[in-house]
């Protein structure tokens, strides 16, 4: 039965061949299968405990070997992603788990033997081990911040679906050391047990060395278990708080943060959190928790080790907690995660979320949709409705029936979040906040919307999208953003993303050879991977082979199979190479062509700056800051010196001061950023997009410094500017409200 199930799951995407998903699926199947078969067999015999344990271990090993063979055959059928790591994860996860299941089944069979309902008792006891172990993992998920799980039976569960880089092997190895200690201790115990009637008694075998080995193994198993937080096997609220160490309490939030996060940034986060809570409560027209805890980790690595979700932001509404990596003010997703917690005030079930059976079956569309709608981006290219209109025109808009159910997870994440948020934003506008709260809590839509079900509301919503105006550039941006496969549709996403990260890390260190090797490995798994192909071009730039770099970028720019946005990205790499090597005229011409196909105002502003040099001094400064030396990369110190020379030579030009101000803001030096931005805004601004961004950034910096008078002054000036996109204007207004300016 277990082998058949492994054979069937291997035909699903991501499950073909040894790897994380295949190991997880096998971990849910093999241990229970081994436990059941061994328990039923042992319960019908008078086997000694030691012999029963031996049978259980042998059965578990045989089942694991069969399942691994099936997984390897699937790998031969579809191709391997990373054979040796995949085999190691499979062996240490469900492989050892199957042996543990067999051992548990032996104990269950021994206990059930001789009872009146032997088979029933054997089945229930056999399943109790794997099921109880899963229950412990669920309890830890519910009662602590952690989202990952190490388990004696199923092995390892990473948690969030959107973390594609998963590297459990080191921790899984130390965890399985504990499993082996446990098996050895149980084996020694079984060796010293005898069955007498319906009881088991300890007997001496005259082997003190064996007893000592069993005692040491039991001590080792206990040591590994108690060292779980230190070894990364599990965490508790206390262990995570102890690691983070610092805390700051604001009016509505407690910011728990790592010593690697500056104290002044934690205080800024506290004020920002208070502003978000007030704005979200107003959007929902409800009151959230009196205080929300925000745990701020200094890096993805620290967050991944302590609670999981290295690259994914997480909230647990039932715990009134949010878990984030540190980012400068304004934090890009703080509001979104706080919205999950505040929505929990009218959510259902023990997890305070939306979905059938009181939220026990989550509806990710409603869960993510309300958070997206309540906290749209502060600086968007388009509104949620605008993006949805683009998807509608491109034939990419999914039916809402597929969005508001678990099939949400099968969609491209950007598409799913945007569509869910856009519909709930429209639902609030059309039927009020009470309809949003009621639907989230589980009330059927017809009872909230005058009898209209989801299909009828979808027709109304799609009709409303026709009012959204779109440019051709916005359509292409939407195509690039949304016409991509979800994780379940990608080939080897975990391995590809891990190797790609290694390649970029090597390239950043100047190890061109190592980077090339890794980009080539990515292309061996996915021949069309744009990032790897572009990365090889960057390797050629670093190596000083401009001709090869141009050839590679030109191939990408002319590849008709790529989205227009990706072709433009390759074209920009060519333009950057021109700018860095002093070919200003050709660079400006390329930047102009790129700008004609771009909708993102941030990118257009960067293109404006790159295309703005009027002499070689300006070109050198801008190239140093935005492109860097082709061979050794960017250095802000060198760029700042060149920009300073430019500013001295052109005292009326506000652009160099803006560039310095922006980079001081990026490094968290808000006072110096404010000084430079004020200088920039007092001078001539020859680029309208730069002037708009300088004013927006001046509002941001003033809010970070809690300088409301200066923030109000910059905000008033920003609002008076012509040419600000409606979505961008709304974003700045939202930030101003959180800052207390409205």
3-class secondary structure per residue, 725-738? CHHHHHHHHHHHHH
Say whether the peptide bond before residue 445 is cis (omega within 30 degrees of 0): no
Closest CA to 377 of 414, 426, 429, 326: 414
Report residue 379's pLDDT band, with 50, 70 and 90 as the boundaries. Answer: low
Is the pTM of the predicted complex or chain greater than 0.85?
yes
pLDDT of 482 above 90: no
| DSSP secondary structure letter of residue 158 | -
Report residue 728's pLDDT band, with 50, 70 and 90 as the boundaries. Answer: confident
| Cross-strand pairs, 246 | 257
Domain boundaries defined on the chain: 2-229, 236-345, 359-457, 651-742
pLDDT at 2: 58
pLDDT of 496 above 90: no
Give me the phi and psi of 229, to 5 degrees please.
-60, -40
Mean pLDDT of 198-218: 89
> 56 is written with which tokens?
């259980």
pLDDT at 680: 96
Q: Tell me the C-alpha distance between 329 and 268, whole Å.
A: 7
Tens of pLDDT, residues 108-144: 999 988 777 889 999 999 999 999 999 999 999 999 9
CB count in 10 Å sphere of residue 221:
20
Local structure of 69: helix, strand or coil: helix
pLDDT at 715: 93
Tens of pLDDT, residues 271-304: 999 999 999 999 999 999 999 999 999 999 999 9
How large is the angle between the packed helices 20-43 and 49-78, nearest 10 degrees? 150
Mean pLDDT of 466-487: 78
Largest CA distance in the chain: 100
Q: Tell me the C-alpha distance between 188 and 543, whole Å.
A: 61
Tens of pLDDT, residues 581-636: 999 999 999 999 999 988 888 999 999 999 999 999 999 999 999 998 888 888 88
pLDDT of 309 above 90: no
Q: What is the mean pLDDT of the chain?
A: 91
Q: What is the fold, at CATH topology level, of the domain defined by 236-345?
A: Glutaredoxin (3.40.30)
Higher pLDDT, 409 or 186: 186
pLDDT of 644 above 80: yes
Q: What is the DSSP string of 295-354?
A: EEESSHHHHHHHTS-SSS-EEEGGGTEEEEE--PSSPSSHHHHHHHHHHTTS-BTTTTB-
- Alpha-carbon distance values, 46 to 39, 106, 183, 284, 326 (Å): 12, 12, 22, 65, 61
Ranges 48-52, 74-78, 149-153, 170-174: which has the least confidence: 74-78
Report residue 1's pLDDT band, with 50, 70 and 90 as the boundaries. Answer: low
pLDDT above 70: percentage of residues in the chain: 96
CB–CB of 129/291 below 8 Å?
A: no
pLDDT of 427 above 90: yes
pLDDT of 52 above 80: yes
pLDDT at 11: 61
CATH class of 651-742: mainly alpha
CB–CB of 36/63 below 8 Å?
A: no
Mean pLDDT of 434-441: 97
pLDDT at 296: 97
Report residue 3's pLDDT band, with 50, 70 and 90 as the boundaries. Answer: low
pLDDT of 205 above 70: yes
pLDDT at 489: 59
Q: What is the DSSP string of 5-31?
A: HHHHHTTSTT-SSSSHHHHHHHHHHHH
Closest CA to 346 of 364, 360, 365, 367: 367
Tens of pLDDT, residues 70-92: 988 988 888 888 888 889 999 99
Q: Tell me the C-alpha distance between 635 and 642, whole Å.
A: 11
pLDDT at 117: 86
pLDDT at 18: 86
Tens of pLDDT, residues 86-115: 899 999 999 999 999 999 999 999 998 877
Q: Tell me the C-alpha distance between 403 and 416, whole Å.
A: 6
Strand segments, DSSP code E, in 454-509 are: none
Nearby residues of 364 by Cβ (< 8 Å), 6 or more positions away: 406, 408, 409, 416
């Amino acid at each position: 039965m277990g082998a058949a199930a492994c054979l069937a799951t291997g035909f699903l995407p991501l499950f073909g061949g040894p790897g994380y998903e295949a190991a997880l699926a096998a971990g849910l199947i093999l241990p229970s299968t081994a436990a059941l078969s061994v328990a039923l067999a042992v319960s019908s015999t008078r086997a000694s405990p030691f012999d029963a344990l031996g049978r259980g271990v042998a059965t578990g090993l045989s089942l694991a070997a069969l399942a691994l063979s099936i997984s390897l055959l699937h790998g031969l059928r579809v191709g391997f992603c990373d054979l040796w790591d995949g085999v190691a994860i499979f062996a240490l996860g469900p492989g050892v788990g199957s042996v543990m299941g067999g051992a548990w089944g032996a104990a269950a069979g021994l206990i059930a033997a001789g009872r009146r309902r032997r088979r029933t008792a054997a089945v229930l006891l056999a399943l109790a081990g794997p099921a109880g172990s899963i229950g412990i993992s669920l309890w830890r998920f519910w009662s602590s911040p952690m989202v990952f799980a190490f388990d004696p039976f199923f092995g390892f569960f990473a948690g969030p679906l959107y973390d594609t880089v998963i590297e459990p092997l080191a921790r899984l190895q130390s965890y399985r050391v504990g499993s082996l200690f446990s098996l050895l201790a149980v084996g020694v115990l079984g060796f010293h047990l005898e069955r007498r009637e319906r009881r088991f008694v300890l007997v001496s075998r005259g082997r003190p060395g064996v007893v000592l080995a069993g005692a040491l193994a039991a001590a080792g198993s206990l040591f590994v278990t108690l060292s779980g937080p230190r070894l990364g096997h599990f965490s508790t609220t206390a262990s995570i708080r102890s690691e983070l160490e610092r805390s700051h309490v604001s009016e509505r939030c407690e910011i728990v943060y790592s010593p690697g996060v500056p104290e002044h940034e934690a205080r800024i986060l506290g004020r920002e959190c208070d502003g978000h809570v007030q704005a979200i409560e107003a959007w929902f027209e409800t009151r959230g928790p009196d205080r929300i805890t925000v745990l701020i980790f200094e890096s993805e690595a620290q967050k991944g080790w302590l609670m999981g979700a290295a690259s994914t932001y997480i909230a647990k509404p039932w715990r009134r907690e949010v878990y984030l990596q540190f980012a400068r003010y304004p934090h890009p997703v703080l509001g979104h995660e706080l919205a999950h917690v505040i929505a929990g005030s009218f959510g259902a079930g023990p997890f305070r979320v939306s979905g059938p059976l009181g939220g026990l079956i989550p509806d990710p569309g409603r869960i993510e949709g309300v958070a997206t709608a309540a906290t749209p981006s502060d600086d968007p290219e388009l509104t949620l409705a605008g993006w949805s209109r683009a998807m509608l025109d491109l034939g990419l808009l999914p039916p809402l029936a597929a969005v508001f159910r678990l099939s949400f997870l099968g969609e491209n994440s950007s598409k799913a979040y945007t569509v869910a948020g856009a519909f709930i934003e429209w639902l609030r506008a059309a039927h009020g906040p009470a309809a949003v709260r009621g639907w989230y809590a589980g009330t059927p839509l017809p009872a909230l919307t005058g009898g209209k079900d989801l299909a009828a509301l979808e027709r109304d919503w799609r009709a409303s999208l026709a009012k959204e105006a779109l440019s051709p550039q916005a359509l292409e941006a939407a195509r690039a953003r949304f016409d991509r496969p979800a994780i379940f549709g990608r080939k080897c996403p975990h391995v590809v993303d891990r190797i790609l990260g290694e390649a970029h890390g090597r390239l950043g260190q100047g190890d061109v050879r190592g980077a090339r090797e890794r980009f080539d490995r990515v292309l061996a798994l996915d021949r069309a991977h744009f990032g790897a192909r572009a990365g090889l071009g960057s390797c050629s730039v670093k190596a000083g082979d401009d001709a090869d770099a141009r050839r590679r970028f030109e191939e990408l720019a002319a590849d008709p199979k790529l989205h227009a946005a990706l072709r433009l990205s390759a074209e920009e790499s060519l333009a950057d190479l021109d700018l860095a090597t002093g070919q200003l005229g050709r660079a400006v011409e390329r930047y102009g062509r790129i700008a004609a196909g771009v909708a993102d105002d941030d990118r257009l502003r960067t293109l404006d700056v790159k295309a703005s040099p009027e002499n070689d001094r300006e070109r050198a400064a801008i190239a140093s800051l935005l492109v860097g030396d082709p061979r050794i990369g960017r250095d802000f110190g060198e760029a700042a010196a060149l920009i300073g020379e430019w500013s001295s030579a052109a005292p009326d030009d506000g652009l160099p001061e803006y560039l310095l101000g922006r980079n001081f803001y990026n490094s968290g030096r808000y006072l110096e950023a404010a000084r430079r931005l004020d200088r920039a805004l007092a001078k001539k601004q020859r680029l309208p997009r730069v002037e708009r961004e300088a004013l927006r950034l001046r509002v941001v910096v003033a809010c970070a410094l809690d300088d409301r008078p200066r923030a109000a002054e910059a905000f008033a000036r920003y609002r008076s500017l012509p040419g600000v996109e409606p979505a961008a204007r709304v974003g700045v207004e939202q930030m101003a409200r959180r800052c207390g300016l409205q």
